[in-house]
Amino acid sequence: MEKLILPNGLEVSNVALGAMNFGTTTSKEDAFAVLDAYIDMGGNFIDTSNNYAHWQGTGDESETLLGEYFESRKCRDKIVLATKVGFDRHGEGQGLRKEQIEYWIDESLRKLKTDYIDLYYAHTDDITTPLEETMEAFHSLVEKGKVRHLGGSNYDTWRFAEANSVAKTPFTVMQQWFTYLQAKGDVAPQYIFNEYTTRERLRYLEAKNIPLVAYSCLAKGGYEVPERLPEELVAGTRLETLKNMAKEKGVTASALAVAWMVNLHRCDGFPRVIPLFGSSNVEHFVSNLKGAEISLTDEELKLLNNA
């Protein structure tokens, strides 16, 4: 798997492993198998949160399982570890106030059995707390060595930019909803800032040399199982184009969607995109992960972009 050196200096694989369901709907055995396969294929960029997956459990499961994995495999120093703070978990944890950030970083470090986080995300914007307070609290974590770099997830583009304008340590990575299919313009997201990544946002990221980590990038399995395709996405000709090209190449549509994202930075108006996904099934995960090894021609990218 190709390694990228991000503008902030982190060296990461070109696909990130999402650990959202590890320890809840994905068993410890299955999670360890997926983690082993990912690392064996050259992956090193693992993503979790302090509230995963609270809708299935307490919200401690994913970080706790990863801590057990790092301890078991003695591999923490080989991993670029990302976690998050700011979303609700059973009535606690919501917001980006100074005391919230300071409390939850220590909880995450304890569960993950580590003394630093490589990339710490504000999980979603908090419009009730001044940006200056939030960014100063994050900066303090960097100064203390608890966090190496910062990212912002689920921010409006202008709010992300304003946060960076007041920051001593800025957000250097954005995480947002993005996939090959486009979203319907009249469908509001479940949470106010979980907006689909638009062309305007992509142009901003390219101009600022900020990579996009793309969550929900495989459309909840909808590229393979039509019934799972989110209703917020437009299928039609674009989906048919993806499936037809995937069939010609002898790969799954999901793998080709991954290939499209990792090749997209070669096109004008697009930043580096790092697909983020996980699975409870090793075979499915490896099949999708192989998309990172597919090199698309300029003509193929143009065909996919213009569908």
Q: How far apart are CA 148 and CA 141, in angstroms?
A: 8
- Reported as a single tens digit per residue, the pLDDT across 149-159 is 999 999 999 99
Q: How far apart are CA 155 and CA 139, in angstroms?
A: 18
Q: Give the torsion sign (CA, 301, 305, 306, 307).
A: positive
- Reported as a single tens digit per residue, the pLDDT across 272-288 is 999 999 999 999 999 99
Give me the percent of the chain exceeding a pLDDT of 90. 96
Full set of structural domains in the chain with CATH: 3-306 (3.20.20.100)
Judge whether residue 209 has pLDDT over 90: yes
SS3 228: helix
The DSSP call for residue 95 is S
**Average pLDDT in the 86-95 region?**
92
| Mean pLDDT taken over the chain | 96
Q: How far apart are CA 136 and CA 199, in angstroms?
A: 30
Q: For residue 190, what pLDDT is reported? A: 80
**Which of 100, 151, 104 has its CA nearest to residue 129?**
100
Element (H, E) at 160: helix 157-165
- Reported as a single tens digit per residue, the pLDDT across 216-238 is 999 999 999 999 999 999 999 99
Q: What tokens were used for 98? A: 């100074």
- Is 0.85 surpassed by the pTM of this model? yes
Q: For residue 247, what pLDDT is reported? A: 97
Residues marked as catalytic:
52
Q: For residue 185, what pLDDT is reported? A: 82
Backbone angles phi, psi at 40, to 5 degrees: -60, -30
- Reported as a single tens digit per residue, the pLDDT across 164-196 is 999 999 999 999 999 999 999 877 788 888 899
Judge whether residue 213 has pLDDT over 80: yes
Q: For residue 183, what pLDDT is reported? A: 94
Cis peptide before 259 (omega within 30 of 0): no
β-partners of residue 214 are 176, 275
